[in-house]
Amino acid sequence: MTQFITPVEAARLVGDDMTLAVSGHAGFGTPDGLFKALHDRYDEEGHPRNVTLVKIAGTGDGGQRGGDRLAADGLIGTIITSHFGMEKKLADKVAANQCLAYVVPAGTILALYRAIAAGHKGVWTDIGLHTLADPRLDGSKANEKTVREGKDIVRLVSFDGDDYLYYPTFPIQVCFIRGSLADEDGNISLQREAMIGEQLEVAEATHNSGGIVVVQVEDVVPRGSLDSRLVKIHHFLVDYVVVPRPKYHVQSFSTHGYRPELSGEGRKSIQSLPPHPLDNRKICARRAAMELKKGDVMNLGIGIPEIIGSVAAEEGFGPSLTLAADSGIIGGIPLSGLDMGAAVNAEAELKMADMFDICHGGGLDLCALGLAEIDAMGNVNVSKFHGRVTGPGGFIDLAQHTKKLILMGTFTAGGLREHCEGGRLVIDREGKYQKFKTDIEQVTFSGDYAAAHGQHVLVVTERAVFRLTPQGLMLTEIAPGVDLERDILSQMEFRPLIADDLQLMDGRIFQPNPMGLS
C-alpha cells in the first residue's frame, strides 16, 4: 500500500552504493524537492555515498537546481545518462575524473528501462553503431577514469551478418520520479506535465527490480477523483508519495515558467511564429526550408534549426508541416531553452518512449540538427569539446534513421560577423574557430555509416552547402558574394570534393523579402 511521507523521509530510503534512477528533462518531470532533500541529507550525514545515478536527460537549470544538487564529493560514484544539459556541476565532476561516467543515447536508456521491467537480459540495438557508443570507439565511456576503472556497459555483437550494440540490464534499487497529482490511494496523474517522459518506464523497471518507487507530486486529491484516463502510474507500482514545498515543484526552470494551461488555449500552430531577422542563422534556415515538402513530419534541433519553423511560417506553408520532438510532443509551437521539449498548443502528447520508437524506425521525414564539428567523411561531433562531455542526448536517436538529415551551422564560430547586401553575403569578420576539421574530438554521427546505408544527408551553412557521398563531403553550392578559396576552402582543415556543376545558392535567400516558397 502506498504511503505518504516527507521529502526528508524519502531521502533516507537511498542507501550507500544503491542505483538511483530519476526522471526529468530540464525542469519538466524533475523531482527537485527529492533532489534537495537528498542533498541536505548528504550535507548533514555524509550519506548516501557512491550512488549510481541513472537518468535520460539533463535535469538542471545551469545553476543550483535539479541534478546539480547531487554534485557533492562522494555522493555520486557513477553517472549513466545521455546528456548533462544544464548540469554544470555534474559535468565538472566528470571532466575532473571525480566519478565514473557513461553517455548512452537517450532512446537506449529508455529501452533499458523497458527491458529491466520486462525481465530481459539486455537490449540489442543498431542505434549508435560507429559513434561514441560503439566499443570500437568510446564504448559510451565519458572520461579517463571510466576508461581506466569502469566496467564495459556495451558490447559489439553480430547476428545474421549484421552488427548490433548489446547493453546488459541491471537492477534499480530506488527511483525518484515526478507526477502532477496523486489520489489517496497513490494513483499518479501526469495531467499538468509539459511532456509524458520516462516516469512510467522508470517506475516499472524499479518495481520489477524489487526496488522502491518514490513519486513527487504537486498535490493529493480525494480517492476516486482522478479521471482514470489521466492516471499514468497505478498505485500498485508506487511505494511512497511526497508533496514538497511549491518552489521545489515548478513546471519549468525557465524564468518565465511554462504554463500547462497554454496547451488548451485556442489553436496556434507553426504559422504563428514571428519572422526572424535576416542574419546568417536565417540564411541557413531558409536554405534548409527549401528541402521541405508539404505534409513532412520533422524534428528541429536546438539553435539554428529552430528558425526553420519561423521561415516556414513567413513563407506561408507552416500549417502543412508537423513538428515532432523526441520528448513526444507533436504539433503546436515548439519552445526552446529551458523549455525545450515542450510546445504551446501541441496537437498530441505521446510518451517519450513511443516517440523514440517512431524515430528509430525511420518514421520522421526530415530531421534538422545543429553542427559543431565535422570531418571530411561527414562524421559529426556535438557531444564533447576540449575534454568536456555534454553527451549526445537524443541526437543519435534522431539522426541515424531519419529519411533526410540536414546538419546546420555557421561556417565558422567565435566572433563571426556577417550581413547581406544587394542579395550577396558579406563577411565582416571571420570566426576564430573552424568547424570543418581533419579530426573531430568525438563521433556523435557517423558519416560512413550514413553513406553506406544510403541516407540523404545535407550540410547547410550560410556560405556553402555540402552533400554527403560515399567518398565524403561534396561542396555543391556557395553563397553569392563569397570567394571559393578565401572564404570557404581556406577556412577548412581539409579539401572537400567539389561538384562539377558547383552552383550559387538561391539568391532569394539573401534578400529581406519572403522567398515565395509556398
Q: What are 42-85's pLDDT values in tens digits?
A: 999 999 999 999 999 999 888 789 999 999 999 999 999 999 97
Count Cβ atoms below 10 Å from residue 293 Cβ, excluding itself.
12
**Do 43 and 87 fall into the same domain?**
yes
What are the backbone dihedrals phi and psi of residue 273, each rounded to the nearest 5 degrees, phi first?
-70, 135
45, 184: one domain:
yes
* Residue 56 Cα distances to 110, 136, 261, angstroms: 7, 23, 26
Q: Tell me the average pLDDT across 492-514.
A: 97
How much is the pLDDT for 267? Answer: 44
Would you call 326 helix, strand, or coil by DSSP? Answer: coil
- With a cut of 70, say whether residue 266 has pLDDT above it: no
pTM score: 0.94
The DSSP secondary structure of 445-508, one letter per residue, reads B-HHHHHHTT-EEEEE-SSEEEEEETTEEEEEEE-TT--IIIIIGGGSSSPPEEEEEEEEPPGG
Rounded mean pLDDT, 203-213? 98
Contact 276, 309 (CB under 8 A): no
- Give the Cα-Cα-Cα angle 230, 232, 237 (nearest 5 degrees): 140
* Shared-domain flag, residues 240 and 276: no
Residue 297 has which C-alpha cell? 513530419
**Strand ranges (DSSP E) for 287-344?**
297-300, 322-323, 329-330, 333-334, 343-344
Residue 51 in any domain: the answer is: yes
Q: Residue 421 pairs with which residues in a beta bridge?
A: 424
- Contacts of 255-259 with C-beta under 8 Å, sequence gap 24+, read 258/27, 258/28, 258/194, 258/335, 258/339, 258/342
Burial of 86 (0-12, 13-18, 19+ CB in 10 A): buried
The residues, ordered by sequence, that sit 6+ positions from 205 with a Cβ below 8 Å of its Cβ are 21, 112, 113, 114, 116, 117, 172, 175
For the cut 80, the answer to whether the pLDDT of residue 335 exceeds it is no
Averaged pLDDT, 26-52: 96
Q: Three-state SS for 149?
A: helix
Q: What is the pLDDT of residues 147-171, one digit of tens each?
A: 999 999 999 999 999 999 999 999 9
> Of 140, 154, 129, whose CA–CA distance to 102 is shortest?
140
Q: In this structure, are 213 and 332 located in the same domain?
A: no
Query: Does one domain contain both 276 and 135?
Result: no
What would the pLDDT profile of 183-203 be if each residue is shown by its tens digit?
A: 999 999 999 998 899 999 999
Specify whether 304 is located in the same domain as 235. no
Helix extents (H) in 53-97: 88-95
Average pLDDT of every residue of the chain: 93
Same domain for 229 and 275? no
Which residues does 467 contact at the CB level (< 8 Å), separation at least 6?
457, 458, 459, 473, 474, 476, 499
Query: How much is the pLDDT for 332?
Result: 79
Taking only the tens place, the pLDDT of each residue in 387-425 is 889 999 999 999 999 999 999 999 999 999 999 999 999
* Residues 310 and 422 grouped into a single domain: yes
407 within domain boundaries: yes
Structural domain includes residue 260: no
Q: Are residues 95 and 16 in the same domain?
A: yes
Domain annotation covers residue 146? yes
Structural domain span for residue 289: 270-510
Q: Which amino acid is at 293?
A: K
- Domain count along the chain: 2
Gap between the Cα atoms of 83 and 103, Å rounded: 7
Look at residues 105, 156, 150 and name the one whose alpha carbon lies nearest to residue 383: 105
- The answer to the question of residue 516 being in a domain is no
Specify if 411 maps to a domain: yes
- At 309, the pLDDT band (50, 70, 90 cuts) reads confident
Among residues 201, 229, 244, the one where a domain terminates is 244
* 197 shares a domain with 150: yes
**DSSP tally for the chain: helices H, then strands E:** 11, 35
Are residues 291 and 208 part of one domain? Answer: no
State residue 280's pLDDT score: 96
Using alpha carbons only, give the angle 131, 434, 457 rounded to the nearest 5 degrees: 45
Residue 492: inside a domain, yes or no?
yes
Question: Can you name the residues that pair with 344 across neighbouring β-strands?
Answer: 333
Q: What is the CATH number of the domain that holds 74?
A: 3.40.1080.10
Same structural domain, 282 and 240: no
Are 185 and 234 contacting, i.e. CB atoms less than 8 angstroms apart?
no
Residue 112: inside a domain = yes
Residue given cell 485556442 in the structure block? 266
